[in-house]
């Protein structure tokens, strides 16, 4: 026989809110707790008794976090994930780098670049022809 612990996440740790013997009831209760706005994340842990080893195995069978939380509820490991602000210098460099990449891509696709590319190809072609003509004259 299994038991289901409904747990809520409070002050950085999981706290048992109730114990049920019915999985559907436990999940329903967990969802209701989450709607109650007293917790940011909930989960249901199944306790499975192993008669061979006389121990209980714990298995998380349901987990939900409120929409404003991370999808994991920041609670998979019992700690809340925090967004770390980037240092300003890095942010500035990142912005510059990103802007430079965007400018370069825009330049490659621009008409002046196509004209320059066309001129270089024509120039190389002419140079190749002249070179071949000179070689032919020598022979």
Partner 1 sequence: MSEDDLPPGMERRLSLRILNYWRSIRQDDAFPAKGDLDPAAMSDIWGYCVILKIEGNEADPLVDFCGDEIKKLCGEDVTGKTISTAPPKCLITNGLNLYTRALAKRVPITYGDEFENDKGVKVLFRSAILPLSEDGTTIDHFLCATNCRLDEPDTIDGDEA
Choice between 10 and 66, CB closer to partner 1: 10
62 binds partner 1 (CB under 8 A): no
What is the radius of gyration, based on Cα positions, of the chain? 33
Q: What are the structure tokens assigned to 91, written together?
A: 């942010």
CB of 12 to partner 1, least distance (A): 15
78 DSSP assignment: S
Cα–Cα distance, 15 to 38 (Å, whole number): 12
CB of 52 to partner 1, least distance (A): 23
CB of 93 to partner 1, least distance (A): 47
Choice between 2 and 70, CB closer to partner 1: 2
Cα–Cα distance, 83 to 5 (Å, whole number): 30
Number of residues interacting with partner 1: please give it, by CB under 8 A.
15
Q: What are the structure tokens assigned to 16, written together?
A: 């048992």
Residue span 5-44 as binding mask against partner 1, x where in contact by CB under 8 A, dash where not: -----x-----xxxxxxx--x--xx--xx--x-x------
Query: What phi-psi label fits residue 124: left (phi over 0), alpha (psi between -120 and 50 degrees) or beta?
Result: alpha
Q: Which residues bind partner 1 (CB under 8 A)?
A: 10, 16-22, 25, 28-29, 32-33, 36, 38
């Amino acid at each position: 026989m299994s038991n289901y612990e409904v747990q809520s996440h409070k002050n950085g740790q999981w706290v048992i809110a109730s114990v049920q013997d019915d999985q559907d009831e436990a999940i329903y209760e967990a969802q209701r707790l989450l709607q109650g706005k007293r917790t940011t994340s909930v989960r249901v842990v199944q306790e499975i008794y192993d008669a061979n080893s006389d121990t209980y195995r714990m298995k998380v069978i349901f987990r939900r976090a409120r929409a404003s939380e991370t999808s994991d509820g920041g609670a998979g490991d019992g700690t809340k994930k925090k967004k770390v602000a980037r240092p300003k210098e890095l942010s500035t460099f990142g912005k510059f780098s990103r802007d430079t990449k965007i400018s370069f891509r825009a330049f490659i696709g621009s008409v002046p670049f196509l004209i320059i590319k066309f001129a270089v190809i024509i120039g190389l072609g002419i140079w190749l022809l002249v070179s071949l003509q000179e070689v032919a004259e020598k022979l």
